[in-house]
Amino acid sequence: MADVNRGNRPLSPHLTIYKLPLSGSMSIMHRITGVGLGLTALLVVWWFLALSAGPGSFGFADGLITSWIGGLVMIVSLGALWYHFFTGLRHLVWDSGIGFDRAQVNRSGIWVLAAAGVMTVITLIAAF
């Protein structure tokens, strides 16, 4: 049977003092943005369904999506879309076996963040 005395075993660092590397934080954000984009897709589908349901339903849905909170959700979703896209490209490069050196991983992470930010701003300028 396993030894139940665990007093002399090393302890893992607590989550509040452990600092994730950039690649770990970006991996978590890739998953979070994927879920967020799925929820945003449901919001857009609801908007289209309201369009087909009639003017009253569409007026409510359109009013909500075009309000300041809806606009904020769409802007954040746009940034999440570009981030998720560029992180996906990064993973495709990794699938080919390129870029696993620690310096290359950090450099590609910074490039992903910069590219997502720049493309978000360019898309917002083009949209407005």
Tens digits of residue pLDDT in 55-92: 999 999 999 999 999 999 999 999 999 999 999 999 99
pLDDT at 18: 79
Helices (H), 17-101: 22-53, 55-65, 68-95
Specify if 69 maps to a domain.
Answer: yes
- Count H helices, E strands: the chain? 4, 0
Specify if 54 maps to a domain.
Answer: yes
Q: Percentage of the chain with pLDDT > 70?
A: 93
Specify if 67 maps to a domain.
Answer: yes
pLDDT at position 6 over 70: no
Specify if 9 maps to a domain.
Answer: no
Domain housing 74: 22-127
Between 13 and 45, residue with greater pLDDT = 45
Specify if 15 maps to a domain.
Answer: no
pTM, entire model: 0.85
Specify if 14 maps to a domain.
Answer: no
Spatial contact of 84 and 40, defined as CB atoms under 8 Å apart? no
Specify if 74 maps to a domain.
Answer: yes
Give the domain CATH number at 55. 1.20.1300.10
The widest CA-to-CA distance across the chain, in whole angstroms, is: 69
pLDDT at position 1 over 60: no
Count structural domains, the chain.
Answer: 1
Q: Which helix (H) or strand (E) holds 1?
A: none
Specify if 16 maps to a domain.
Answer: no
